[in-house]
Amino acid sequence: MLDDNLAWTTDLGQAFLNQPADVMDYLQAPAVASSLRCAS
């Protein structure tokens, strides 16, 4: 999944390095978390 779009994965990693709390808050939001579970 993450290797399907390396640019997105890299951007996510950079965002996490710069703003880890914001990225985790976003990923754990109910709508986002639900869509991530459905994608796998």
Q: What is the pLDDT of residue 39?
A: 63
Cα–Cα dist 11/5, whole Å? 10
Apex 16 CA angle, 6 and 3, nearest 5: 20
Q: What is the pLDDT of residue 40?
A: 56
Cα 10 to chain centroid distance, Å, stands at 10
Q: What is the pLDDT of residue 11?
A: 93
As a residue count, the chain comes to 40
Residues 2-40 have pLDDT tens digits of 788 899 889 989 999 999 999 999 888 888 878 777 765
Q: What is the pLDDT of residue 13?
A: 93
The domain ranges of the chain are 2-39
